[in-house]
Amino acid sequence: MKKLINAPEDVITEALEGVAAAHPSLSVDVENKVITRAGGPTPGKVGLVSGGGAGHEPLHGGFVGYGMLDAACPGEVFTSPVPDQMLIATKAVNAGAGVLHVVKNYTGDVLNFQMAAELAQDEGIEVASVVTNDDVAVQDSLYTAGRRGVGATVFVEKIAGALAEEGADLSAVAAVAREVNERSRSFGVALSSCIVPAAGKPTFELGDSEVELGIGIHGEPGRTRADLSSARDLAAVALDAIRADMPVSGDLLVMVNGMGGTPLIELYLMFNEVNRYLEGHGGRIARSLVGNYITSLEMQGFSVTVCQLTDALTRLWDAPVDTPALRWGR
Amino acid sequence: MKKLINAPEDVITEALEGVAAAHPSLSVDVENKVITRAGGPTPGKVGLVSGGGAGHEPLHGGFVGYGMLDAACPGEVFTSPVPDQMLIATKAVNAGAGVLHVVKNYTGDVLNFQMAAELAQDEGIEVASVVTNDDVAVQDSLYTAGRRGVGATVFVEKIAGALAEEGADLSAVAAVAREVNERSRSFGVALSSCIVPAAGKPTFELGDSEVELGIGIHGEPGRTRADLSSARDLAAVALDAIRADMPVSGDLLVMVNGMGGTPLIELYLMFNEVNRYLEGHGGRIARSLVGNYITSLEMQGFSVTVCQLTDALTRLWDAPVDTPALRWGR
């Protein structure tokens, strides 16, 4: 295992110390593993909390800041955070208007956020939850009942975060978060495995010319293995799967996301193929992200997420954001 | 070779088409391989042009935009662009105040930019050049006479770009670019090789527990090979080499850069070690970047770049920037 670490058991703590040193705009509780905005909660604003296993950076800690999340709590690598962390985060961002939990659909995350929500409610904090489940690849998988929550989570955090910043109430913020999830679909492809530091060996093995179609963000199995084909063919596999589940015509928000180990030049090349495909099926990419936003450590591969925009969602997408990983308009 | 491409010979063209589709703020001349700001040159402003082999993305195309570059011209992967490209870029951004060429010290880049500068001067365009050479690892190398130009190039483009945006003249913009280069040092470490698409095989081989200390951004050899050690030890190797050449006390701008295939969580962990080391040697990280900014395709590893700040440089670093890869304050 070749990794830039000291000891596997210290990875998260030491990475959080690095986040704290790099970003004065964030407040990092290293002991409890909770990242919040440095300024404390914004009075009267709905608080947004997300979290999940580490190893998907910049998700979620890189999205804490103005116009997006108020707090993120990372677990160990690919391991759900515990309810206590989520409760600390929820209490830290509560400013009297309630708190939205943004939860990727993985069984551990869902159960723990549910428990945290109950604990917070016991303390008088109003909590709503939205569970993202945009991955069309598989119905059930190693870690998940139902569809997995992946790239749409980035869109949900950005758009619901923008609405919360405008002063909308908890039910409105939760509603737009659900709307974004319902209008979004994703599909991922792996060219290589990742290595969890504590395991020290690849999560799975792929042959020299094999790819895993429909991979999850922890390296859990996808739909099938296939021979590596062209970028054009891989874009078609991903978008055929998405299109079988949701129309892709009209104005779209599209993310071509790297899994962590794929060069940016290949992601732009893949974005070109995605654009070409969507144009051929009546879609128009009105907004986009190309880069590493929800990763699987050093896995090589990509995922594509498509969201059907409305004028209201486009306006919220364009609203100012100021986080380590997404920053514009402010 | 596992890559998200169609044919190796089409990688740059198709990636540029992707850049064009993703970034309406850019104008991409795919045929000539020149990326400029969509709005055309800013009247009276010094134009900034950079370029070099592709494969280091987001450098340089991702740094075209307000407050940074006016144009970038990528060559083929790890291959210098040709003088004609550089001339086209220079003419495209000339707004009467002259043009600064920002050139990484690689022999091909230096010769071709020199020729392009002469051709532009023949057409009446005033051109100044700054050659970055911040890599302390080796004196001469496979591609370079003297020290290689690496991470400081990002700092030069940001800070000189900010000064140009304020309306400074060509000699002042060139002077600050040289000052940033002179006040900056870098050192890189590779944990794995990269694969050039046209070659189809790793540029070099490393043993299961080996690292290359002092690697260049094309996988050219460094100072030595060593057994993989802890993040703390690797930070010390890199910073000892830098500190042997330049004091690291006082206010610093520090980049911990990923070579393309290293997870962000490891870069933050490495940033923590860099911060710890510098604090122990009288330095204070006043500004920082953590992420993939000057890469070597999918190489695993990191580089660290340290720049001694002054109040004037800090002010220019903080100035608004609006490019695909760096965006703040606007």
Assigned CATH topology for domain A8-182? Rossmann fold (3.40.50)
Residue B13: closest CA among chain A residues belongs to which residue?
A269
- Predicted confidence at residue B89, as pLDDT, reads 98
Return the percentage of chain B with pLDDT > 70, whole number: 100
CA B111 distance to own-chain centroid: 18
Residues of B in contact with A211 (CB under 8 A): 2
The residues of A assigned a catalytic role are: 56, 218
Query: Tell me: the pLDDT tens digits for B30-83?
Result: 999 999 999 999 999 999 999 999 999 999 999 999 999 999 999 999 999 999
- Predicted confidence at residue A242, as pLDDT, reads 98
Specify the DSSP class assigned to residue B24.
Answer: T
- Predicted confidence at residue A311, as pLDDT, reads 98
Residues of A in contact with B3 (CB under 8 A): 191, 266
- Bridge partners for B11 per DSSP: none
Residue B265: closest CA among chain A residues belongs to which residue?
A15
CA–CA separation, A101 and B253 (whole Å): 36
pTM metric for this prediction: 0.98
Instruction: Kindly state whether B11 is in contact with chain A, defined as any CB-CB distance less than 8 angstroms.
Output: yes
Helix (H) or strand (E) holding A269: helix A264-280
Residues B193/B205, Cβ–Cβ less than 8 Å: yes
165-204 in chain B: CB under 8 A from chain A? 191-192
- Predicted confidence at residue B143, as pLDDT, reads 76
Closest CA of chain A from B270, distance in Å? 7
Query: Tell me: the pLDDT tens digits for A68-124?
Result: 999 999 999 999 999 999 999 999 999 999 999 999 999 999 999 999 999 999 999
B327/A298 Cβ within 8 A: no
- Predicted confidence at residue A140, as pLDDT, reads 79
Return the percentage of chain B with pLDDT > 90, whole number: 95
Closest CA of chain B from A142, distance in Å? 23
Nearest to A269 among B18, B301, B322 (CB): B18
Instruction: Kindly state whether A17 is in contact with chain B, defined as any CB-CB distance less than 8 angstroms.
Output: yes
A234/B4 Cβ within 8 A: yes
Residue with tokens 């003419």: B91
Average pLDDT over residues B176-188: 98
CA–CA separation, A296 and A78 (whole Å): 9
Mean pLDDT of chain B: 96
- Bridge partners for A35 per DSSP: A28, A72
A269/B5 Cβ within 8 A: yes
Average pLDDT over residues B257-270: 98
- Predicted confidence at residue B330, as pLDDT, reads 66
Average pLDDT over residues A276-285: 98
| Set B23, B56, B60, B101: catalytic member | B56
Average pLDDT over residues A292-312: 98
Closest CA of chain B from A91, distance in Å? 26
Q: How confident is the model at residue B103 (pLDDT cuts 50, 70, 90)?
A: very high
A261/B298 Cβ within 8 A: yes
Q: Residue ranges per domain, chain A?
A: 8-182, 184-320
| Set B23, B60, B101, B218: catalytic member | B218
Nearest to B192 among A2, A7, A54 (CB): A2
Residue B321: closest CA among chain A residues belongs to which residue?
A328
Query: Tell me: the pLDDT tens digits for A194-237?
Result: 999 999 999 999 999 999 999 999 988 889 999 999 999 999 99
A6/B232 Cβ within 8 A: yes
Nearest to B269 among A5, A208, A209 (CB): A5
Residues B15/A272, Cβ–Cβ less than 8 Å: yes
- Predicted confidence at residue A309, as pLDDT, reads 98
- Predicted confidence at residue A330, as pLDDT, reads 66
- Predicted confidence at residue A143, as pLDDT, reads 76
- Predicted confidence at residue B127, as pLDDT, reads 98
Q: How confident is the model at residue A144 (pLDDT cuts 50, 70, 90)?
A: confident
Closest CA of chain B from A159, distance in Å? 19
A4/B267 Cβ within 8 A: yes
A6/B231 Cβ within 8 A: yes
Q: How confident is the model at residue B320 (pLDDT cuts 50, 70, 90)?
A: very high
Q: Long-range contacts: A108-113, Cβ < 8 Å, 24+?
A: A108/A79, A108/A80, A108/A143, A109/A51, A109/A52, A109/A53, A109/A80, A109/A81, A111/A80, A112/A80, A112/A81, A112/A82, A112/A83, A112/A86, A113/A51, A113/A83, A113/A86
Residues of A in contact with B17 (CB under 8 A): 272
Say whether the ipTM exceeds 0.95.
yes
- Predicted confidence at residue B141, as pLDDT, reads 76
B269/A18 Cβ within 8 A: yes
- Bridge partners for B253 per DSSP: B287, B307
Closest CA of chain A from B260, distance in Å? 6
Residue B142 has pLDDT above 80, yes or no: no
B211/A295 Cβ within 8 A: no
Q: Provide the token pair at B220.
A: 């050219």
Domain at A184-320, CATH class: alpha beta
Specify the DSSP class assigned to residue A42.
Answer: P
Residue with tokens 């139902």: A146
Q: How confident is the model at residue A128 (pLDDT cuts 50, 70, 90)?
A: very high
Residues A82/A68, Cβ–Cβ less than 8 Å: no
Mutual angle of helices B311-318 and B152-165, in 10-degree steps:
80
Residue A34 has pLDDT above 90, yes or no: yes
- Predicted confidence at residue A261, as pLDDT, reads 97
B272/A14 Cβ within 8 A: yes
